[in-house]
Chain A
């Protein structure tokens, strides 16, 4: 059969294409219409900008002690007061955001990629891979999350390294579960079946067709999961098996301020509020992204 023998005259009536703006305004103006997305990104942006530029914003060193001016209430000089060792609370708070957010993002990269890969392969190919993956994920989920986290963090030693190892071991489960379900349901759709019969290589179907359809959902899960990771980092710090002092960290700050609850309540309340603020920002961002992608499709 020769394609060249075909006349190039179009057959049948040509319908006009729908305007490409059918699915709503594009880009920026579409983002602006989703309040959750706007609020979430602005909240997170403020925090990230503060964390980046804190050395220029604050004249204080987050670890330098000034025992002469300890437990000072908020003032023009010390915006949020000072702690029991005379360190500026605002400076420490933002430097702690650097530590905690940095660890949070780094600790999620490997589990995210690993979980999606494993889940996609298990869901798409099914069979024994799927059986093993479901067995492992179900077993992990049967355990209390914090029990595993604390045991692994304790075993691998305090500090950022322990947190990375912990989440590399545990974090991928969530993504694997979600992706596996999505891939398994997408596999039943006709266009995947058609792509298979058309002779496209399996890796290409996985990477170019399955992945783009799964990624939005996975990113939404990533946002909510990050909140969980942040809380876990702070919890480990609070329990003394996370970030070791004097590196500023919200968890250790809350623990340190506990003894001064009656005289200087803001010492614990402010870092606690910072955790809640970041959690809300990430959740709003996740909701907003889900909304954005739902409207798009």
Chain B
């Protein structure tokens, strides 16, 4: 756990160094270089009212827009003073409070072990064994569904995927077998999965990670959720796939108007997906506010650190030239910095040590020689 954390930090340090060079110390500019914030500038802060206007300007989305956002509306989810602890009494999440309105999206950001995923699971009502609710409450009147971090792990390995989607459609939407299958295939088509699935069903191990994640999203959408809970849905995917899944979720949210809680340790993704951000550290909220405010005027040094350590998303892939896009993406994502950090890390300590000793001996012998002469 500790070593993993330190690796992460070193990676981040590597990237930070590179950013510092490129942006000549200007923090905002350095973030601007990373694509997501560029977008943020062109995008109004997604405060519900403003967003409503935005939506209404698009004809196709009018119906969704009027349905989706109303500031005076009762929140659909209230998390009030949520405190989770392990069976040994250690506090894992402490005094977490926030509300979620229809169509709104909140980003939970923080390092590994900061309690963001646990908060999400508490909202879903699915606490892992050994974790219990110590205080506070989660109240919601609507249905929710979850998109998991590891798409392959979230699918039954021995059940073909269309069948898995159809099964959820059948039980959640109370439909017949054949109807459910048709509905499932429609969903899968909508999510950009090949039509050949209709002819020949596949097992999860026959699909790529990105395809599996689309299946997982399809299953979540089959519940017709009012809140979509995303637990680092792109972490297990490669960079180009990350961009596709993020775009997919964003488009789906605009079309279907569900509210969303988006857990990630990547501020760039959170900034793009969410109107509000909650920054967590060691189970506590350190900062909370509109995404733009948090990113441009962070109050807490921890937030500052997260902003500096941001891993950018790759450019939106306009062409299908996968290899080129990926190469570019790798360059953009500071893969070089990562590699350097890795190289340094993988250099055995003994080598460093022996080199130090060599130097020491050299200087000593020189000193001796000097004293003799």
Query: B256 touches which one: A1, A18, A191 (CB < 8 A)?
Result: A1
Within 8 A of B (CB), among A166-211: 188-191, 193-201, 204, 208-209
Within 8 A of B (CB), among A1-48: 1, 3, 5-8, 10-18, 20, 22-23
Q: How far is the CA of A212 from the CA of B222 in the complex (A)?
A: 23
Q: Whose C-beta in chain A lies nearest to the C-beta of B186?
A: A8
Q: How far is the CA of A10 from the CA of B191 in the complex (A)?
A: 6
| Residue interface mask B62-101, A partner, CB < 8 A = 1 | 0110010000000000000000000000000000000000
Q: How far is the CA of A194 from the CA of B257 in the complex (A)?
A: 22
A213 within 8 A of B: yes
Query: A189 touches which one: B125, B153, B216, B257 (CB < 8 A)?
Result: B153
Q: How far is the CA of A20 from the CA of B201 in the complex (A)?
A: 9
B104 within 8 A of A: no
CB B79 to nearest CB in A, in angstroms, measures 17
Q: Whose C-beta in chain A lies nearest to the C-beta of B223?
A: A198
Asked if A297 and B193 sit within 8 Å, CB to CB, the answer is: no
With A8-B189, A18-B207, A23-B205 known as contacts, the answer to whether A297 contacts B145 (CB < 8 A) is no
Asked if B153 and A190 sit within 8 Å, CB to CB, the answer is: yes
B355 within 8 A of A: no
Query: B126 touches which one: A8, A11, A188, A197 (CB < 8 A)?
Result: A197
CB B37 to nearest CB in A, in angstroms, measures 23
Asked if A197 and B191 sit within 8 Å, CB to CB, the answer is: no
Asked if B206 and A20 sit within 8 Å, CB to CB, the answer is: yes
For chain A, the bracket of interface size reads 35 or more
Query: A209 touches which one: B150, B156, B208 (CB < 8 A)?
Result: B156
Asked if A197 and B202 sit within 8 Å, CB to CB, the answer is: no
Contacts of A195 in B (CB 8 A): 156
Query: B64 touches which one: A5, A20, A194 (CB < 8 A)?
Result: A5
B1 within 8 A of A: no
Q: How far is the CA of A286 from the CA of B208 in the complex (A)?
A: 32
Q: How far is the CA of A213 from the CA of B63 in the complex (A)?
A: 44
Asked if A14 and B192 sit within 8 Å, CB to CB, the answer is: yes
B224 within 8 A of A: yes
With A10-B189, A10-B191, A17-B197 known as contacts, the answer to whether A1 contacts B258 (CB < 8 A) is yes
With A6-B190, A15-B211, A23-B206 known as contacts, the answer to whether A209 contacts B159 (CB < 8 A) is yes
With A10-B190, A14-B194 known as contacts, the answer to whether A197 contacts B145 (CB < 8 A) is yes
Asked if B148 and A190 sit within 8 Å, CB to CB, the answer is: yes
Asked if B192 and A12 sit within 8 Å, CB to CB, the answer is: yes
| Residue interface mask B158-194, A partner, CB < 8 A = 1 | 1100000001100110000000000100100111111
Asked if A16 and B194 sit within 8 Å, CB to CB, the answer is: yes
Determine, out of B24-32, B244-252, B329-337, B340-348, the stretch whose residues face the partner at the interface. Answer: B244-252
With A16-B194, A194-B154, A197-B126 known as contacts, the answer to whether A208 contacts B159 (CB < 8 A) is yes
Asked if B224 and A1 sit within 8 Å, CB to CB, the answer is: yes
Q: Whose C-beta in chain A lies nearest to the C-beta of B220?
A: A198
| Residue interface mask A61-72, B partner, CB < 8 A = 1 | 000000000000
Contacts of A204 in B (CB 8 A): 167, 171
Query: A199 touches which one: B172, B197, B226, B257 (CB < 8 A)?
Result: B172
Asked if B192 and A13 sit within 8 Å, CB to CB, the answer is: yes
For chain B, the bracket of interface size reads 35 or more
Query: B159 touches which one: A20, A196, A199, A212 (CB < 8 A)?
Result: A212
CB A296 to nearest CB in B, in angstroms, measures 9
Q: How far is the CA of A6 from the CA of B254 in the complex (A)?
A: 10
B297 within 8 A of A: no
Q: How far is the CA of A119 from the CA of B63 in the complex (A)?
A: 52
Q: How far is the CA of A12 from the CA of B171 in the complex (A)?
A: 28
Asked if B158 and A297 sit within 8 Å, CB to CB, the answer is: yes
With A5-B63, A197-B126, A198-B223 known as contacts, the answer to whether A11 contacts B247 (CB < 8 A) is yes
Asked if B156 and A191 sit within 8 Å, CB to CB, the answer is: yes
Within 8 A of B (CB), among A280-297: 297
| Residue interface mask B216-237, A partner, CB < 8 A = 1 | 1001001110100000000000
Asked if A199 and B171 sit within 8 Å, CB to CB, the answer is: yes
Query: B192 touches which one: A1, A11, A188 (CB < 8 A)?
Result: A11
With A3-B224, A7-B255 known as contacts, the answer to whether A190 contacts B150 (CB < 8 A) is yes
Q: How far is the CA of A17 from the CA of B203 in the complex (A)?
A: 11
B289 within 8 A of A: no
CB B34 to nearest CB in A, in angstroms, measures 22
CB A138 to nearest CB in B, in angstroms, measures 22
Q: Whose C-beta in chain A lies nearest to the C-beta of B256?
A: A1
Contacts of A198 in B (CB 8 A): 145, 168, 171-172, 219, 222-223
A-B contacts besides A190-B150, A190-B154, A194-B216, 11 pairs, CB < 8 Å:
A1-B256, A12-B245, A12-B248, A14-B194, A17-B196, A17-B197, A23-B206, A197-B146, A198-B223, A199-B172, A209-B158
Chain B interface residues toward A at CB < 8 A: 63-64, 67, 124-126, 129, 145-146, 148, 150, 153-159, 167-168, 171-172, 183, 186, 189-194, 196-197, 200, 202-203, 205-208, 210-211, 216, 219, 222-224, 226, 244-245, 247-248, 251-252, 255-258, 317, 320
Chain A interface residues toward B at CB < 8 A: 1, 3, 5-8, 10-18, 20, 22-23, 188-191, 193-201, 204, 208-209, 212-213, 297
Of the A-B pairs whose beta carbons lie under 8 Å apart in the complex, a sample of 10, sorted by A's number, is A7-B255, A8-B186, A12-B248, A15-B194, A22-B206, A191-B154, A191-B157, A194-B219, A198-B145, A208-B167
List the 7 closest pairs (A to B, CB-CB), nearest first: A10-B192, A12-B192, A190-B153, A12-B244, A212-B158, A190-B154, A209-B156
